[in-house]
Copies of this chain bind each other. A is one copy, B any other.
């Protein structure tokens, strides 16, 4: 809150100089919107937006015709130095970080879609923006076209957010959806997503949950007024999931989704935060269960507002450019009319909880000997560690091993540590042939 009073840097009418860093799929669509909607954007801002340059690595690479080649430059620093608004869609940590700090220190407003940079080093960027009295906006960094940063940072700022649940990675949602609808195994579904352009050639950032974890850190920071970094996020991707896991989810009335979760857990001094990314069983009737294909959705539970959901396209050039341009207009208006948008709010300084203490419901799927007494043995291992059982389903599968049954146990809430200790003990039981899967079950609040 130590920002200097904002000073309009441009009076109404004089063009605002916009620099674009990066010209891939998103950058190209940003150029298209700036070009085809120039008149409308000028009316909305109160001054024309003039694209003064596009920084790229290779000016000779082939590009969409909407990009004026005369604007291309490899000298990003010089471009940044002559801009009022710097738009960064290049991604990665460096050189994006250095360029954005240079922009902010030079008094330019910044709009970025760079979730990795924000999750790793957001406070440094915020501090630079604050020192210069300029805006740092990043709606496109989380869930593409879906307005979620602004609602959490502004609309819900008078409320107390309790939990944020997001399907924030379209690639993994597409993969899980295909596994559910057509019984594909993970590799086949990933290959299909790659063929359709939903997954990168190297899908690691998506399938291992790194991308979702960065978004979880950003949402947690905003919702709970606390600095949460990428390393604070307890992360499990979808690479351990099988077609059987997805099929069993359906058999027990659930849909398997990769969820990014940020939750305030009660405790002394305001409690702590549980921030994680992991596959979870979502009850089929929950609104998040119906989010199909590459769509994204973020579900927010707040004390006064109750349950809110935001749904839309979480990736792709055009949807992401919509979010970028909304921010460009907002920061440009501030330069025309004076003022600034929200600054970093991290006063709450809540600690991030040890993941072992995190509480969840769990579903365990075991392969056990099909004989009397096995359930009693299993149940006593859970009881010994204070874990109570909500539901049990035992079946002999037509394609199962001889003399084996499948035992599916759903627990009431338990800590991750107690659950993991129980799983170790179950593995030691003679009657337990295998602990096939251990999955979290989404806790649904009573409305």
B1 to A159, Cβ gap below 8 A?
Answer: no
Contacts of A333 in B (CB 8 A): 342
A355 CA / B287 CA spacing, docked (Å): 35
The CB with the most chain B CB atoms within 10 A, among A145, A158, A347, is that of A158
Interface membership of A308, Cβ < 8 A: yes
B323 to A155, Cβ gap below 8 A?
Answer: yes
Least Cβ–Cβ distance between A123 and chain B, in angstroms: 17
A433 CA / B252 CA spacing, docked (Å): 50
Residues 336-365 of A, flagged 1 when their CB comes within 8 A of B and 0 if not, give 111110110101100000000000000000
Q: Is the interface of A mostly helix, strand, loop or mixed?
A: mixed
A339 to B340, Cβ gap below 8 A?
Answer: yes
A347 CA / B43 CA spacing, docked (Å): 7
A5 to B3, Cβ gap below 8 A?
Answer: no
Least Cβ–Cβ distance between A289 and chain B, in angstroms: 11
Interface membership of A277, Cβ < 8 A: no
Interface membership of A206, Cβ < 8 A: no
Number of A positions contacting B (CB below 8 A): 66
The count of identical subunits is 2
A33 to B309, Cβ gap below 8 A?
Answer: no
Interface membership of A290, Cβ < 8 A: yes
B329 to A305, Cβ gap below 8 A?
Answer: no
Interface membership of A223, Cβ < 8 A: no
Interface membership of A150, Cβ < 8 A: yes
8 Å CB contact of A308 from B8, B302, B311, B348? B311
Interface membership of A221, Cβ < 8 A: no
Interface membership of A313, Cβ < 8 A: yes
Which chain A residues in 12-32 approach chain B with CB under 8 Å?
12, 29
A1-B336, A147-B155 as given contacts; A312 in contact with B304, CB under 8 Å: no
Interface membership of A86, Cβ < 8 A: no
Residues 410-433 of A, flagged 1 when their CB comes within 8 A of B and 0 if not, give 000000000000000000000000
Which of A228-236, A241-249, A314-322, A370-378 participates in binding chain B? A314-322
A33-B159, A44-B158, A150-B154 provided; 17 other pairs, C-beta below 8 A?
Answer: A1-B12, A6-B338, A41-B158, A44-B157, A44-B347, A154-B329, A157-B326, A158-B322, A158-B324, A158-B325, A287-B290, A304-B318, A304-B321, A305-B312, A308-B313, A310-B311, A333-B342
Binding site for B on A (CB under 8 A): 1, 3, 5-6, 8, 12, 29, 33, 37, 40-41, 43-44, 46, 139, 145-147, 150-151, 154-160, 225, 287, 290, 302-313, 318-319, 321-330, 333-334, 336-340, 342-343, 345, 347-348
30 A-B pairs with CB atoms under 8 Å apart are A33-B158, A37-B160, A40-B225, A43-B225, A145-B308, A147-B147, A147-B151, A147-B308, A155-B323, A157-B326, A157-B330, A158-B324, A159-B322, A287-B311, A302-B322, A303-B322, A304-B319, A305-B313, A305-B318, A305-B319, A305-B322, A306-B312, A308-B310, A308-B313, A309-B309, A334-B339, A337-B340, A337-B343, A338-B340, A339-B340
